[in-house]
Structure 1
Amino acid sequence: MRDLDETDLEILSLLAADARRPFSEIGERVGLSGPAVSDRITRLKESGIIEGFTVDVDRTKLRAGVPVLIDVELPVGAESADGSDALEAARERARDADAIEHVFVTAEGDLRVYARVEGLNVREWVRGLFDGVAVDDYAVTLVDEFEWTPSIEGVEFALTCAECSNTVDSEGETTRIDGEVYHFCCSSCLSRFRERYQRLEAGA
């Protein structure tokens, strides 16, 4: 299999920004024809680098609410009312809350979340959310603007061998087994993987 070149990376970047971008428009940006872009994208999908296309939904257009950042200070090693670790209990509450969109854990072991809270009494909502969890203190900051722009710019794409976990380079091999695409750093790893797969399948 071949390494990803700069054109592949640029195509991936353009698709990450807008997955519905026409191939002809991508071709104009990378200096290829529309069909040539289509061929490259097909190869990227067949090699497993592109697994699918998703929709990036702007939740601000779908749901009302007050956008806030919530910083939760948690005592180190403390337990919640049910005996579980305070940090894990707080994270679990945050994950289950519909209003919370992003959850972060700081190096100090505290929690920061971004949420869109309906209603005016945000502090009351926070108190109810973490009721029973050992919390030292918390701060609520209203958010004026919010932008979330994940990027693949500058990221090195590397495939991992399904057998030994080494990086797969241009001398590696790719094969499809029972509809799944697997990458291998060498033919020996491919052979070992295939033999083990067949033994497991035979014993199933």
Structure 2
Amino acid sequence: MTGIDDVDYRILELLMDDARRSYRDIAEEVGRSPPTVSERVERLTEVGVIERFTLDVDRSRLVEGPTVLVDLAVQPGSEATVVEDLTDAPAVEHVIRTVDAAVVFVAHANERDVEELLSETLGDERVREYRVRLVSDRTWEPRLDEETLAIECVVCGKSVEGSDESVALGDRTYEVCCSSCASEIKDQYDALQQAASE
């Protein structure tokens, strides 16, 4: 089964509400058996809809310093490494990279600590300028939009809704929209396998 149906959608909602919820509890909510729920969660993980199960911690209660939003203007071409380096910094909570090469992050630090964090983590040569703003309140509520929810073909990006095409390669299953995309991803995989063995 490919695509996302109403049962998958409800499973995702329940897991987003509480990722520790048992498959038995979810099964009762969606009217399916626990093994069916387990299979659906596994499939959603294989196709990349579920990336990981994680814990949402209120870091403001664990670290010192006010919550701040920092806008960075970085040297062109350094955005990816800046994001990677900031992600590893203990005081940094969320890092966002925009299409116009800006980097924004949430941290727990005062303005003096932000300057030190940037200097130690990124060095002076990658940051052109930055702006620090105090955060008064924030909400992080991931939501699903049932109207636009669909799995995309890994080859061409079209929706696989209603398609029965999937390709098992190695330890992953890839959802594709048609037999042409299935052939293309198999060819790409075979070429990579051959290159790796040489």
Normalising to structure 1: TM-score of the pair? Answer: 0.66
1:140-179 equivalences under 5 Å are: 140-141=133-134, 143=136, 145-154=137-146, 155-162=148-155, 164-179=156-171
Find the aligned partners of 1:174 and 1:32 in 2 and give their Cα distance: 23
- Structure possessing the higher radius of gyration over alpha carbons: 1
CA contact (8 A) 1:68 1:142 kept: yes
Structure 1 segment 36-51 matched on structure 2, within 5 A: 36-45=36-45, 48-50=47-49
SS at match of 1:28: helix
* Cα distance change of structure 1 residues 6 and 71 upon mapping to structure 2, 3 Å threshold: same
Q: Distance in 2 between matches of 1:199 and 1:126?
A: 46
Percent identity between the aligned chains?
Answer: 27
Query: How many residues are treated as equivalent by the alignment?
Result: 188
Contact 1:161 1:167 (8 Å CA) reproduced: no
Task: Give yes or no for contact 1:48–1:181 (8 Å, CA) kept in 2.
Answer: yes
Residue 10 of structure 1 corresponds to: 10
Find the counterpart in structure 2 of residue 182 from structure 1: 174
Structure 1 residues 60-139: aligned runs within 5 Å = 60=59, 63-72=62-71, 84-85=75-76, 94-95=86-87, 97-104=89-96, 112-117=104-109, 122-130=110-118, 132=124, 133-135=127-129, 138-139=131-132
Q: Which amino acid aligns with 2:32?
A: L
Tell me if structure 2 keeps the 8 A contact 1:19–1:53.
Answer: no
**Distance change >3 Å, CA 61–CA 124, structure 1 → 2:** closer
**Amino acid corresponding to residue 134 of structure 2 in structure 1:** T
- Alpha-carbon distance in 2 for matches of 1:27, 1:5: 15
Deviations 1:57-110 (A, max 9, x none): 415377321232245586xxxxx8xxx45x959x56755642121234689987
Q: Tell me if structure 1 keeps the 8 A contact 2:2–2:165.
A: no
Gaps of 5+ in 1: 75-79
Q: Deviations over 1:145-164 (max 9, x none)?
A: 544222334451223143x4
